Structure 1
Amino acid sequence: MDSQKIKNLQSYLVRLQEGEDLVSVRREFEKDFASVSTEEIMEAEQALLQAGNLSENMGRLCDLHSGLLHGKMETIGEQFPEGHPLQLFLKENEAIESHLDKLSAVMNGPFSAADILSVLEGLLPVKAHYDKKDEVLLPILGRKGMPGPSRVMWNVDGEIRKSLQDLINKLKKEDPHTEKSNDDVLHQALSGLLNRMREMIFKETEILVPMVQKLVDQNEWPLIAGDFPRFGWSYITDVPIWNAQALPKSRLNQGLKDNGKTIFLPSGELTVTQLEGILRTLPFELTFVDAADTNQYFSESTPLFPRPLTALGHSVYDCHPPKVIPMVKGVIEKLRSGEKDSLGFETIKKGKKARVRYLAVRDREGAYLGTLEVVEELS
């Protein structure tokens, strides 16, 4: 890769970081660059992040970078087979784009609070799209040596989710018949949401998908294909099965081997099959993170807090948005040190009330073995 080209690209990104006008920077950028590859933009951003030059207001900078690159990204050539995870991911983006067109059309005419609320609520399924990206694709990208840009994108997804939900909550408090076409504050907020979601589609299509395609090993795709349905789908139904004959059996089933073996415990004994059945029957979602902060076990069914099997064997911090990682580390350290034996809170997840508890797991001598997360539906 041309190191001088990367340095030149970095110089333009730094100018945006320092507050220079996007239009003027882009004018010069277009003279210097006929095109930019996915690898080049990712390497430039990664280097700047590692150097600490892109540490503030990353959501805004991500949008500026996208604005700089429009029309300059090299075209994606390869088409994905029907049902491939990336084919479904891009298909969801087509549906999201269609709903954004509806939002734009409503904004361009007279509309009431009820009109715009209906369109915004129609955008809520995008959360499943972002979940698959944030929980499955971005952690893999990070483990392949590109953690910086993936952290940035995850943060922006969180900002988009919050903006969408805040607008919905605000409009629900309004008289549904109130004329809102001349509400400049609302119009500005809607335009901001619309633009950010369109920019995210561009980033996913032109940057994320090509990079994931390049970095993910072929033997990882069946696991990703198995993880995607755990998070649900945005708008698409009758999801085709990709290359069903070639897909291996579920990792869950592969790991279940009884062979007549009995596990002897202080208070009884169980076969492997019996233990698996008990764990699958418990009315909780369980996650066990070992003393090295590595994901070691998830419940087979995790409808409230879906867990991707691709995260097993990897750091627990890969499974969380960058903004909450300090909090997660704080919880684990309190349990590890013995300051706390348990911590918890109640929340609403997928419209259901749930209790989340974090329990320190220790051996009989008190040595820390890991953290057990227990999610219980209360509704």
Structure 2
Amino acid sequence: MDSKIENLINFAQGIHNKENGKELYDKYKSDIKNVTPKDIFLIENEQLKMGLTSKEVLASVDKLINVFYESLASYEWEKPEEGTFIYYLMEENKGLRTHLDSFKVIIKKQEYMGDRKIILEVLKELLAYNEHLQKLENVLFPYMEKKMDRFEGLKIMWSLHDDVRKHLKEVIEKVEKGNMNRESFNIDLGALFYNLHGLINKQELILFPAATEVFNETEFKAMHMQSFDYEFAFIEAPEKPEIKLSEINDGAVKEGVIQMETGKLTFEQIETMINAMPVDVTFINEDDKVAFFSRPNERIFKRSAAIIGRDVRNCHPPESVHVVEEILENFKKGKRDSESFWLKMKGMFILIQYFAVRNDKGDYLGTLEVSQEVSEIRSLEGEKRLLGDK
């Protein structure tokens, strides 16, 4: 590790430990003035290695960004061309800014109860930004994690995403209930605006410049294609390009027959059969890497090809990783063979089941995750024995 990075880590740790800010700045001034976007990931990664949690690192991130702002804002990087993955992410951010600016006009009047209906409408429109965040978490982040260890720090950004999601949901619930005390609601809206603008700044000052320096054109094309698994927030969806599967999955075998003990199937039959089932299926191999996921017509959780080969821990928000680790540990040790969870989401009742996959000898081969919308199943009564019966 070079002295510059070491000094920047010491500065970040000093801020975290609430040491004198001016003294720290004066001590590390020359390195602060030369900080780069990729340096930020190194700093955060080292802090995580030191034992800090994502939440602990997150607590001082905004202070660090403020100190580093001048260097990051003046950093020269190759801006994305129109029609590319990063370009549309930045266009979505422009759309969010415009949406927030129009919202300011409404809330400046501070007639919250009188404008309650339109305020609720505008707040719910902000939920569309989740599609943008999912493209980061499920497409860009996996690619970056595979590229360099330093990008482990991305889990901090994911943690920030979850904080903003939670805050937006809470503000919407307050408006729905009419709990809009002027003083407290001003604080709620101010924090929401600050955090959303903060997401944009962190992406465009740090995340996007760093990404442009580590990926080639083919990788960005693959990411762009996978972005169409999600909606486009605040902009019209661009035309989907035609990109060969080989640009994402080199060496994929799509021909031939697979002979099994109970029958034989072609690759196409296996793939379409799995996708025809009304469940989301994900397989995590014995090394805790995502090896496969299905694409049913009615998907519950959106997935992108970028997660193939990704450590399953990085597919979940930092705050829920301990649950994933406990499930896997119990399966590997033979303590459990299955786990089930159920939750309500967007008007659906979701059953999520995990199954330990073992061979005839009992050796652990991986974990199968099966998610299903079971509202209709839960409502079944009586019997149906004939075609056409209801």
TM-score by length of 2: 0.84
Pairwise CA distance, 1:339: 2.0
Structure 2: gaps (5+ residues):
376-390
> Which of 325, 329, 345 is the equivalent residue of 1:333?
329
State the alpha-carbon separation in 1 of the partners of residues 276 and 253 from structure 2. Answer: 16
Alignment of 1:1-379 (within 5 A): 3-20=2-19, 24=22, 28=26, 32=30, 33-52=32-51, 57-73=56-72, 74-113=74-113, 114=116, 115-143=118-146, 144-174=148-178, 180=180, 183-241=182-240, 244=242, 247-249=243-245, 255=252, 257-259=254-256, 261=257, 263-301=258-296, 303-379=299-375
Pairwise CA distance, 1:152: 0.9
Pairwise CA distance, 1:185: 1.6
- From the superposition, tell whether residues 27 and 97 of structure 1 become closer, same or farther in structure 2 (CA, over 3 Å): farther
When the two structures are aligned, how many residues end up with a matched partner? 367
Deviation readout 1:135-173 (Å, 9 max, x if unpaired):
222233233122342111111111110000111112211
- From the superposition, tell whether residues 21 and 280 of structure 1 become closer, same or farther in structure 2 (CA, over 3 Å): same
Q: Which residue of structure 1 lines up, in the alignment, with residue 378 of structure 2?
A: none
* DSSP-derived class of the 2:127 partner: coil
Which AA in structure 1 matches 2:310? H
Deviation readout 1:102-121 (Å, 9 max, x if unpaired):
33333322222414322211
Moved more, 203-212 or 114-123: 114-123
Structure 1: gaps (5+ residues):
none
For the 8 Å contact 1:14–1:53, the answer to whether it is kept is no
For the 8 Å contact 1:287–1:297, the answer to whether it is kept is yes
Pairwise CA distance, 1:253: 11
Deviation readout 1:50-106 (Å, 9 max, x if unpaired):
234676523222222222222331334423222211111111111111122233333
Which AA in structure 1 matches 2:315? C
* DSSP-derived class of the 2:71 partner: coil
- From the superposition, tell whether residues 169 and 148 of structure 1 become closer, same or farther in structure 2 (CA, over 3 Å): same
* DSSP-derived class of the 1:264 partner: strand
Deviation readout 1:241-262 (Å, 9 max, x if unpaired):
45x4xx3236589735233x2x
For the 8 Å contact 1:227–1:309, the answer to whether it is kept is yes
State the alpha-carbon separation in 1 of the partners of residues 371 and 229 from structure 2. Answer: 16
For the 8 Å contact 2:159–2:317, the answer to whether it is kept is yes
Deviation readout 1:35-60 (Å, 9 max, x if unpaired):
53212333333333323467652322
State the alpha-carbon separation in 2 of the partners of residues 125 and 55 from structure 1. Answer: 25
Deviation readout 1:284-308 (Å, 9 max, x if unpaired):
1111111221211110347211112
Pairwise CA distance, 1:239: 1.1
State the alpha-carbon separation in 2 of the partners of residues 79 and 167 from structure 1. Answer: 35
Which AA in structure 1 matches 2:232? W
State the alpha-carbon separation in 2 of the partners of residues 197 and 139 from structure 1. Answer: 23
* DSSP-derived class of the 1:72 partner: helix
* DSSP-derived class of the 1:226 partner: helix
Pairwise CA distance, 1:309: 0.7
- From the superposition, tell whether residues 10 and 237 of structure 1 become closer, same or farther in structure 2 (CA, over 3 Å): same
State the alpha-carbon separation in 2 of the partners of residues 283 and 54 from structure 1. Answer: 37
For the 8 Å contact 1:62–1:152, the answer to whether it is kept is no
For the 8 Å contact 1:256–1:273, the answer to whether it is kept is no
For the 8 Å contact 1:46–1:148, the answer to whether it is kept is yes
Which AA in structure 2 matches 1:110? Q
